[in-house]
Amino acid sequence: MTNSKACTQTPLLICIFALLPACSTGPADDPIPPASFPDIYLNLLLPENLVLQQTGNYRYLNGGVRGLIVYRASATQMRAFERNCSYQPNSACATVEVHNSGLYMHDVCCGSHFNFDGQPSGGPAWRPLRQYNAILNGNELVITDEVISGN
């Protein structure tokens, strides 16, 4: 009789343990700390911002947790990425920069690579970079602390 009781409890335990991994959202890692900053207004006609008039160019700015990378994606679209790497963001050196080739962004500390959509493309990072709202209106760019993707 004890054997039949043990048999009826075993499937329940198997079900519970089988469901535990489903609760996980991905590899364990801390999220990027929250950042609040005043709206950033850039006049793209000023000499320091002229580089942003051409598609594929970028500029570093202050703002966010570790700074921003502003990237000209097309004639009508700009992107503003958090420079704090999405992999182990509390590490002292978790800072993203544009690779010397200009083809992708990377964190030299952990070896993660990101495309200019902010998605990880190599290394241990599994989450995208945080992207802030960037509104292009003629020759003015406004960057807000509103997060539009990433954590």
Amino acid 17: pLDDT: 39
Q: Superfamily for 27-149?
A: Rieske [2Fe-2S] iron-sulphur domain (2.102.10.10)
Domain spans in the chain, listed from the N-terminal domain onward: 27-149
Nearest to 78 by CA among 57, 96, 60: 57
Q: What is the largest CA-CA distance in the chain?
A: 86
| Residue-level pLDDT at 27 | 56
Nearest to residue 95, comparing CAs of 149, 87, 117?
87
Tens digit of each residue's pLDDT (9 = 90 or more) over 4-37: 444 445 444 333 334 444 344 445 578 888 999 9
* Measured distance CA(74)–CA(80) in Å, rounded: 13
> Which residues of the chain have a pLDDT value below 70?
1-28
- List alpha helices for the chain, DSSP H: 2-19
